[in-house]
């Protein structure tokens, strides 16, 4: 699918009966190398990590470190934290030639984000969110470029429905709903709330929260009727999850090594991803040894000695 060229849109991917599989925006983790990996394993759309729009606009250094992509990194949604409409629109215009849409973070519950006016505090400012969506819509010179929002729910769901309907009236492309309130962390996802929101708007709705296996994609769809699901921790633990693997397959681990080496991924990031991927398939003593490794070559040697090389898969 060719996007970001003015001819086609991410919105063409939303087909009746199809559930899109989406990689969530994850601080430090959903960068280009990891997006390249999950795209090999049936991930339909990827998000960048959250980028603070004001910093992005202010500094070339921030732009270079926060946003990297290539022509195969599609469809790509850039997620921004912003608290005023013009900053969001300016940031969207800056990345529009290299991406397929922007997403406004209205769900981050971290204290620093909320105290700065970013993230989940925006769910209590529906008029501002409406204005921000409208600004992006009006100022990005590409009718196929998407403007979406990612939210958490209120205790009083009427407030969430009102927020979503206001965003819809401003031209929001779709809405991702993390099915927990700002205060909730690991409590069960409120699937009934996601269904209520889905039934209250005509734009596509994406469900987020507790997607750990491919079967969770289908069960969430059945419970809520959503148009797609977004996974975060589940994909970190198993980047091949959307392709139906229960645990990270060896091929995927070696794919990660190849991609990370090719793209020059910093060692800490390279290592952390492997720690997540191996967590369910390695013993505690193995994890202790692996976690203490301190160079790419040591990691590759360990993987070959412990699990075998990718060539062993083909013989």
Q: Is residue 153 part of a domain?
A: yes
pLDDT single digits (tens) 237-285: 999 999 999 999 999 999 999 999 999 999 999 999 999 999 998 999 9
Q: Is residue 1 part of a domain?
A: no
pLDDT single digits (tens) 98-125: 999 999 999 998 999 999 999 999 999 9
Residue 265 CA to residue 280 CA, distance in Å, equals 23
User: Is 232 assigned to a binding site?
Assistant: yes
Residue 310 CA to residue 315 CA, distance in Å, equals 9
Residue 160 CA to residue 194 CA, distance in Å, equals 10
pTM of the complete model: 0.95
What's the average model confidence in pLDDT over 123-138? 98
**Co-location of 81 and 225 in the same domain:** yes
User: Is 190 assigned to a binding site?
Assistant: no
pLDDT bin (cut points 50, 70, 90) of residue 134 is very high
Q: Is residue 255 part of a domain?
A: yes
**Co-location of 44 and 132 in the same domain:** yes
Q: Is residue 5 part of a domain?
A: no
Boundaries of domain holding 57: 10-243
Residue 105 CA to residue 114 CA, distance in Å, equals 11
Q: One of 23, 43, 106, 108 is an active-site residue; which one?
A: 108
User: Is 178 assigned to a binding site?
Assistant: yes
Residue 108 is a catalytic residue: yes
CATH number of the domain within which 183 lies: 3.20.20.70
The helix (run of H) or strand (run of E) holding residue 36 is helix 32-39
User: Is 161 assigned to a binding site?
Assistant: no
Whose tokens are 């969110």? That residue is: 129
**Co-location of 130 and 269 in the same domain:** no
**Tokens standing for 82?**
């912003």
Instruction: Say which residues have a Cβ less than 8 Å from residue 233's Cβ, sequence separation at least 6.
Output: 212
Q: How far apart are the first and last CA of the chain?
A: 34
């Amino acid at each position: 699918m060719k996007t970001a060229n003015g001819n086609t849109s991410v919105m063409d991917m939303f087909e009746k009966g199809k559930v899109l599989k989406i990689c969530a925006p994850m601080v430090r983790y959903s960068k280009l190398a990891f997006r390249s990996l999950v795209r090999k394993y049936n991930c339909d759309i990827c998000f960048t990590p959250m980028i603070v729009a004001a910093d992005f606009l202010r500094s070339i250094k921030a732009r270079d470190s926060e946003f990297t992509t290539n022509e195969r990194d599609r469809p790509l949604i850039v997620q921004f934290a912003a608290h005023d409409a013009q900053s969001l629109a300016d940031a969207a215009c800056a990345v529009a030639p290299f991406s397929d849409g922007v997403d406004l973070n209205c769900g981050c519950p971290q204290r620093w984000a909320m105290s700065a006016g970013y993230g989940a505090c925006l769910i209590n400012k529906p008029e501002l969110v409406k204005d921000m969506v409208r600004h992006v819509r009006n100022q990005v010179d590409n009718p196929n470029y998407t403007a979406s929002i990612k939210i958490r729910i209120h205790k009083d769901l009427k407030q969430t429905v009102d927020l979503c309907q206001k965003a819809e009236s401003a031209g929001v492309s779709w809405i991702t709903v993390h099915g927990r309130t700002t205060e909730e962390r690991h409590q069960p996802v409120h699937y009934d709330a996601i269904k209520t929101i889905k039934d209250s708007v005509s734009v596509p709705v994406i469900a987020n929260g507790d997607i750990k296996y491919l079967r969770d994609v289908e069960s969430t769809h059945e419970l809520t009727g959503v148009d797609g699901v977004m996974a975060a921790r589940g994909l970190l633990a198993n980047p091949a999850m959307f392709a139906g693997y229960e645990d990270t397959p060896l091929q995927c681990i070696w794919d990660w090594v190849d991609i990370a080496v090719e793209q020059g991924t910093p060692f800490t990031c390279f290592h952390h991803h492997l720690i997540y991927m191996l967590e369910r398939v390695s013993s505690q003593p193995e994890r202790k040894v692996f976690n203490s490794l301190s160079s790419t070559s040591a990691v590759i040697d360990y993987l070959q000695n412990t699990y075998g090389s990718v060539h062993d898969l083909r013989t």
